[in-house]
Each structure stands twice: as structure tokens, then as C-alpha cells.
Structure 1
Amino acid sequence: MSTISKPGQAGTLESSDIIITVAPAPPGADIVIELVSPVAKQYGKQIKQAIKEELTELGVADAAVQANDKGALDCTVKARVKTAVERSRA
């Protein structure tokens, strides 16, 4: 597993998008996700699952994630997570 070294962000507050901010977390902290979304009751679990799946695929084990969703599709969520992680490792 690789780590992230600094906060990274990707996305916008436009409709059908999401802002993802990832930050380092202490070893063993796991992935902690804070989600703000008008559709959190209906789709919050799915959005968090998409974020966690992408982080796991990228090899991130410990991270603090803030997500401000405006109705993004899963593919957009995953793309924003990937970009935020890449920026946090740069």
C-alpha cells in the first residue's frame, strides 16, 4: 500500500460533479469519508463505496476524504478520486 503525502483536490461544485479532497491520515486510521450531498439519503452508501473502491484500487489504505457531491455519476466520482490522489502524491 502506498500513502499520500499532502492534501489533494479535484472537481467542481457544478451540477453533476463532485469535489473530492483527500488528506493523509495516520497509519491504521483506515479510510474516513465525510459526504455532503443533496442525495445522501438515497445514494450516500453507493457514493462512499465508489470512493473507497477507487482508493483501494490506487493502493491508499489510510486517508481522510471530504466529498461535496452535486449529483455525480460513479464514473465521475472515481475519476475525481483518482485525480485528487495523484495530486496528493505529486
Structure 2
Amino acid sequence: MEIKQTAMAGTLESSDIQITISAAPELTIDLDSSVADLYGEQIEKVIKETLAAYGIEGAHVKAVDKGALDCVIKARTMAAAQRALGTSETPNWEVL
């Protein structure tokens, strides 16, 4: 699916992650996390798998992690993806 607009979900509070998705020719992830050395690969994996479930192949993702668990990363990525695709009113629950 094609990104229609830049969208964001999440906060910069502890135990959360802020995800910003914008249109790009290919998928790139810019991760800012104090635990990137330990968990960076897992964070990126969750983001990539969630976007793949929406059929998003081209996007630039800016992720600012403050210690979020996988379920939070997925939820924030889903919210940002739905906003970016313009499908917030009709969410794709099958991604869950």
C-alpha cells in the first residue's frame, strides 16, 4: 500500500515509542534508542513485520524508543501506519 501522508503515533514518555512514518521509495528505519545495542534488531524486526502486514514496502520510519515492549512497538506502528494510509476509520484488524 502507498503512504498518503506523514503520520505519527506514540509519545516520548518512559516505556513508550514514538513512530513517524513518511513516504519513501524503500523501507528505511531510523532508530533512536538508548537500548539499541541490546534490542535494536528486535525493535526493527517488530516494525518491519507490522508494516509488511499492511503491505507497506516503501516508507521512512523514525522511531524514538524509550524502553517500549514489543506489544507497544507493534501498537504504535499499527496506529501510525493506519494514519499514514488514511485507513484510521476502517482499521485492518487482521494485522493483529
TM, length-normalised to structure 1: 0.92
Number of residues paired by the alignment?
A: 86
Query: Within 2, Cα distance between the matches of 1:18 and 1:88?
Result: 17
Match of 2:10 in 1: 11
Equivalent AA in structure 1 for residue 67 of structure 2: G
Query: Within 2, Cα distance between the matches of 1:61 and 1:21?
Result: 15
| Runs of 4+, deviation exceeding 2 Å | none
TM, length-normalised to structure 2: 0.87
**Mapping for residues 6-85 of structure 1, pairs under 5 Å:** 6-26=5-25, 29=26, 31-85=27-81
Q: What secondary structure is seen at the aligned counterpart in 2 of 1:6? A: coil
Identical positions, percent: 50
Query: Within 1, Cα distance between the matches of 2:8 and 2:45?
Result: 19
Unaligned runs of 5+ in 1: none
